[in-house]
Amino acid sequence: GQSLEQPSEVTAVEGAIVQINCTYQTSGFYGLSWYQQHDGGAPTFLSYNALDGLEETGRFSSFLSRSDSYGYLLLQELQMKDSASYFCAHSPGNTGKLIFGQGTTLQVKP
């Protein structure tokens, strides 16, 4: 089967750094994607890791370790607007269809 596990909630303060983990048990793994969703709105793409290591995009970075079946999203210099749900996802067999984790709700406090 395909499963991606994430913590359900994470809380951090403004200006801090937070890490959201994702562990997966999948077949046909090609890479790990991350999406952000504000208040039930449209999910938006954040990053993708095909290879092991760190990918940096501004304040957001994403990491993948294939040997550990593990990845994380790192958010730096947290802002109130980063309060949202974050989902890891992968496309089994590189078919384009996505399997999502259940999401992590990040609450940023002043």
Partner 1 sequence: NAGVTQTPKFQVLKTGQSMTLQCAQDMNHNSMYWYRQDPGMGLRLIYYSASEGTTDKGEVPNGYNVSRLNKREFSLRLESAAPSQTSVYFCASSDISGRGRETQYFGPGTRLLVL
Q: Cα separation of 85 and 95, whole Å?
A: 25
Q: Verify binding: residue 98, partner 1, rule CB under 8 A.
A: yes
Q: Verify binding: residue 54, partner 1, rule CB under 8 A.
A: no
CB of 3 to partner 1, least distance (A): 11
Question: Quick one: which segment of 12-20, 57-65, 66-74, 100-108 binds partner 1 (CB under 8 A)?
Answer: 100-108
Q: Verify binding: residue 71, partner 1, rule CB under 8 A.
A: no
User: Distances from the Cα of 85 to the Cαs of 4, 7, 74, 98, in angstroms?
Assistant: 15, 11, 14, 17
